[in-house]
Amino acid sequence: NILTFLFFVKGRGTMNIQRLFHVFLVLSFFFLCVQSASIYDVLKGDSRFTTLVQQIDLYSSVKSILSNSSGQYTLFAPINSAFQPTPDLNNIESRLHYSIVDGVFNISKFEDGQLLFTKLYVSDIGGRLPVRITTNDTATYVQWSQLNLNNTLMADNGHIYPLSVLYHIPATTSAVLSEVSQFKSFNDLVSKAGLSSQFGGSNTTIFLPSNMAFNRTYNGTDLTSLSASQLSQLLRGHLVQGTYYASNFTGNSTSVVTVANTTLSITKGPNGTLYVGDSAIIYSNLLTRTGAVHVIDSIILSSIDNQNDTSSLTVRETLLQLNATAFVRAVDSAGLGDHLNTTSSVTVFAPVNSALAGITLSPQALRAALRYHLSPDSFTFSSLNGNRSTVVDSYLNLTTLAGATQKLRVFRSDMRGALVNNVTVVRSDVVASNGVVHLISHVLPPPSNLTQVLLKAGGFSRFIQLVTAAGFENMTVMGETLFVPDDSAFEHLPELENLLMSDSPDAWQLAQLQKAILHHILPSLVYDARNSSGRFTTFNNDTLDVYRLGDDLYVSNTFGADALVLESNILAAEGVVHRIDHLLITKITLNRTIDAVLSSMPSFSQFTSALSSADLLSPLSGAGPFTVIAIADDTFPSSLNESAARYHVLDGTVDLWTNQNGLLPSRLTLASLGGYAQRLKLSKTYAGVFANGLTQLEPGVEASNGYIFISHGPVPLPSDVDALVRSVPDFDAFAEAIDRYESSVANGTVSVRGVLRLLSRVTVFAPSSVAFDRVSPQLSKYLSSSAGSNDLGLIINHHIYVEPSQSNSSTRYSDVFGNSNSSLMMRSQESVSVRRSQVANSSDDVFTVGAAYVTGPDMIASNGVVHSIDRLLIPTTFKFTLDKALSSVDDARLVVTAIKGTGLAAILTSADSHVLFVPNNAAFNAFNSNNTGTTSDVNAVLQLHIVDGSQTLEENKGLSPRTSGYVLVGGADSQSVLLLNTTYFNSVQSRNGTFIDYRSGALAYANVLDLIEADNGKAYLIDRVLSPPAGSPPVVVEGSGMSGLTILIIVLIIVAILAAVGFYLYRKRKLAQTERLLD
């Protein structure tokens, strides 16, 4: 701008010069604006953080972190109001460090109790102090300060989460114990034992019982009556030296040693709850400045147990030591004393003395009752680990179990701790020389009969009604397993009671009822279903498969009914019950046509009327077969037009009990499908039966001419292909690619979206997110660039097929393709092969298109169909050359330009393979600044970076570049490359030799920054130019070029000519001025 001013002052400026300098000004301003903004920059530019910035400016240690562009941080930033009305700036520098977390985190994905480690180092714990993330259904907090996750600010070096408070550094453990009222009971004992200083010490972890833990019964033990040494030992058994957070307890079991020299085993339940022995951690990671606290629901007694070691005592002696004297006397009087003395591996569930007070039984009843408290299985609750529930044998044999022994159900409850048959275990896992002792709060009564058990468990009233209606109420059950649906399961078969459970069922109805019940009963005992899997046979010879899906257990039968096991091992005198959420039947068979069945179903009257108005009801009296999706009255829409009604009546049936999917034509025909019927897809998954993958259907009624599914709402009419693609989250990347291409093409180009919306009988093979994940980063980046727009359009159109208007074929649903290859001419004007073939030794088939598998066939649209595929379809006319691959690598821009400017451009587009070592821009800039060679010189250096053929850089293996006498060697793990002069290495082997002392003779050494792969070779991005240093034998390449002196002479000649022309114009102007003066 100064130069512009001078030109105008002197009268020699022109408007073009002015514009030129203004362009420089605008560009300078633009580059200043787009410079990176650190967290500090963002804070400084936001008026909400004025006070925070003032505080940061006072402390260089904080400012340097937040200004560091090479780091990645998360800042919990207090806004101005957090410092009002009177700012609490005590220890502010440390508190600011405590607001900074290393790394960038998506807090919305965090679980409750998760920790983030801050920049604040605390010597009391010997490490950095974390902050705790707390979440619930409505909000997320950091150190109890609520976060607004929608108000996150982004900087180049991290994220900023604004806070309305400046939170404090946590208090010491000593302060937490004395100031939190929920810990008063424990803290009072700590004070009484004189251990306050030890529990308030540095770098400690406390497993801290809450006040509620002191309300539990511990075999009648009065903790306040313990001796001083016993109390000290008990309390110290809750204290661990060292700071342990919940994240330190990994795997199924972790052990830590207390200051009382006892070992605590921390285990994890299937729902993630942590246990310390039998005590559940009800609040983890209560942070203090001097350690960590985990709140538990019961007192840990193992430390005083160890003072009275029972491992050398018999079970009898152990019971006496635990004061279970009443149980010992009862066992002796029943003649079962040997189990306590000599039987090995016995487990005893011994009621405390108060539980046995006042109980009087006959000798026979007493013996049976006590045998139910003894188990031949050696069991400890600590062995449950991740399994929350299991069963163990007892010594009680029952004729009602066909002579089998009755089981005991042992499990853990988050609220009640260890339980056996729902009775609380007050002391567990006391190991004796010949067994294990557990003290329990009450006597264990043997299980009642099946009906009483079902009534007591609750939620089985409708199944009991079903049993009664079937005449099975007096059926003898002996040693059997029942998968019993709870009451909610009957909502999945709403017509069951209407059709079958009449007051006086006829013989056919009775047979249907009995068959429905027998589907749920196994003639053998199968306990512990939550941990079982396998195939079992029911009373009516149906097959039940028990299988796992993630953490859930399912039961299914040959009719395709799936039920989730909600509760295992409900024990009865005659067998065992497992609660399930669905009936294990999926259809009720009636000997009537569909129209008659619908007319007899009062809860579907509106749907039946709609079919009648559309002249669809009477045809359903024909031979069929038909499938009808009936909408229940309680969810029937206010208006159902004829088209929608026709879409609920289908020709044909699908046997979903043996097949997972089926396509059926509806009674709705559409011009957008060439006059063909609109299809509807029925599919069965573990979650149930669905129409078009969206509307869940309930099992219904099998009529004599078809099947009726029950729906609680209409099946929506399909949208067009474009809308369908955009409605499926798995196609987001494909939809974004279409939009990117559409935005880059010139006006007049055929719109892809227009094709998908408006044309008839469109078939799209849509790549899923998995397909896009398989695309190499270089190809993905190229297709996202403006240079790759045309190729992107070619690839998109290679996924789209439109049936020719003159064709009589229907839309290309999966069932159109036979077991032989079919060929479709895609919109890319290149064909792809499509094939369906059956998998060997299976009823399944495989649907492929090109090299891709169809993973989600037959997504129904109003003008076609979409099939999901697992990889992109690449037309053979598209070649991803090195030229295209490197065009999107900005850091290779200078070398690519040099390659094209030195006669080597054909290498980038050649069909022949090459390996290129590409110096990045910084390296090539440094090379240019230190070298003034000719084009030929640059060409010669570039030739050192080019290897002909398709080869790979490997450690200690050589590649021969185009320039003879040199070799390129892969360094450690192929993360580097060395240029060697083979003149100095007679022992160098170019392919697989070991290079002795090669570093001393290396002419250049570079790190590999990235690998770029293309169809015609590879390019390794490196951080320096592999040029021979001074004194090395010259690199000779055939060809000629101008020398530096020649170029200098040419430049001087050009300057001289320009000076002469300038002088001539100047003289001419002066002469013209002189002539005007003379005039």
User: 542 pLDDT band (50/70/90 cuts)?
Assistant: confident
Q: Residues 6 or more apart from 373 whose CB is under 8 A from it?
A: 327, 348, 349, 350, 351, 394, 443, 444
8 Å CB contact between 441 and 419: no
Strand, helix or coil for residue 241: strand
Rounded distance, CA 421 to CA 571, Å?
8
Contact in structure between 943 and 1037 (CB atoms under 8 Å): yes
* pLDDT value of position 560: 62
Token look-up 């499908």 returns: 673
Higher pLDDT, 5 or 694: 694
pLDDT of residue 1031: 53
- For residue 761, report the phi and psi dihedrals to the nearest 5 degrees: 55, 55
Closest by CA to 601, choosing from 553, 643, 634, 573, is 634
Amino acid at residue number 389? S
- DSSP string of 135-188, one letter each residue: E-SS-EEETTEEE-GGG-EEETTEEEEEESS-PPPPPPHHHHHHH-GGGHHHHH
Residue 860, classed as helix, strand or coil, is strand
What pLDDT band is residue 50 in, cutting at 50, 70 and 90?
very high
Helix (H, G, I), strand (E, B) or coil at 708: strand
> Which one, of 953, 991, 947, lies nearest residue 973 by Cα?
953
Q: Given this model, what pLDDT does residue 991 score?
A: 36
Interatomic CA distance for residues 357 and 442, integer angstroms: 10
Which amino acid is residue 789, in one-letter code? S
Q: What is the pLDDT of residue 250?
A: 76
pLDDT band at 30 (very low <50, low <70, confident <90, very high): very low
Sheet containing strand 145-147, edge to edge, reads 145-147, 140-142, 127-135, 115-122, 100-102, 73-78, 158-163, 153-155
Q: Please, are residues 863 and 673 in contact by the beta-carbon 8 Å criterion?
A: yes
pLDDT beyond 70 at 273: yes
Q: Given this model, what pLDDT does residue 323 score?
A: 82
State residue 1041's pLDDT score: 40
- Answer yes or no: is pLDDT of 184 > 50: yes
d(CA 768, CA 765): 9
Distance CA(267)–CA(386), nearest Å, equals 7
Span of 30-44, 709-723, 1049-1063 with lowest mean pLDDT: 30-44
Instruction: Report which of residues 995 and 338 the model is more confident about.
Output: 338
CA distance 913 to 1015: 8
pLDDT of residue 426: 78
What is the rounded end-to-end Cα distance, in angstroms, of the chain?
Answer: 38
Q: Is the pLDDT of residue 10 over 50?
A: no
Model pTM?
Answer: 0.53
The predicted-structure confidence for 732-741, as pLDDT tens digits, reads as follows 999 999 999 9
Three-state DSSP class for 656? coil
pLDDT at 411 over 60: yes
Band (pLDDT 50/70/90 cuts) for residue 412 is confident
Residue 476, pLDDT above cutoff 70: no
Residue 147 to residues 150, 154, 158, 658, Cα–Cα distance (Å): 9, 15, 16, 51
pLDDT digits (tens, 9 = 90+) for 961-983: 888 778 888 877 788 888 887 66
Helix (H) or strand (E) holding 597: helix 594-599
Give me the pLDDT at residue 287, please: 92
Q: Which is more confident, 905 or 147?
A: 905
Is residue 559 helix, strand or coil? Answer: coil
Query: Checking DSSP bridges between strand 204-209 and strand 291-296, what pairing results, if any?
Result: parallel
Supply the pLDDT for residue 792: 94
* 869 strand-pairing partners: 767, 854
Angle of helix 461-469 relative to helix 507-518, nearest 10 degrees, comes to 140
Task: Share the mean pLDDT of the chain.
Answer: 82
pLDDT in tens, 1038-1070: 333 444 445 567 778 888 888 888 778 877 887
User: Residue 1047: what pLDDT?
Assistant: 56
pLDDT band at 1036 (very low <50, low <70, confident <90, very high): very low
Question: What confidence category does residue 996 fall into, taking pLDDT thresholds of 50, 70 and 90?
Answer: very low
pLDDT at 6 over 90: no
Is residue 235 pLDDT above 80, yes or no? yes
For residue 533, give the amino acid letter.
Answer: S
How far are the Cα atoms of 245, 421, 794 from residue 889, in angstroms, in the given order? 44, 67, 22
Mean predicted confidence (pLDDT) in 382-389: 64
| Whether 800 contacts 770, CB under 8 Å | no
pLDDT higher than 50, residue 20: no
Asked if 371 contacts 342 with a C-beta cutoff of 8 angstroms, the reply is: no
Q: What average pLDDT does range 474-482 have in this prediction?
A: 74
Concatenating the DSSP letter of every residue in 400-461 gives: GGTTPEEEEEEEEETTTEEEETTEEEEEEEEEETTEEEEEESS--PPP--HHHHHHHH-S-H
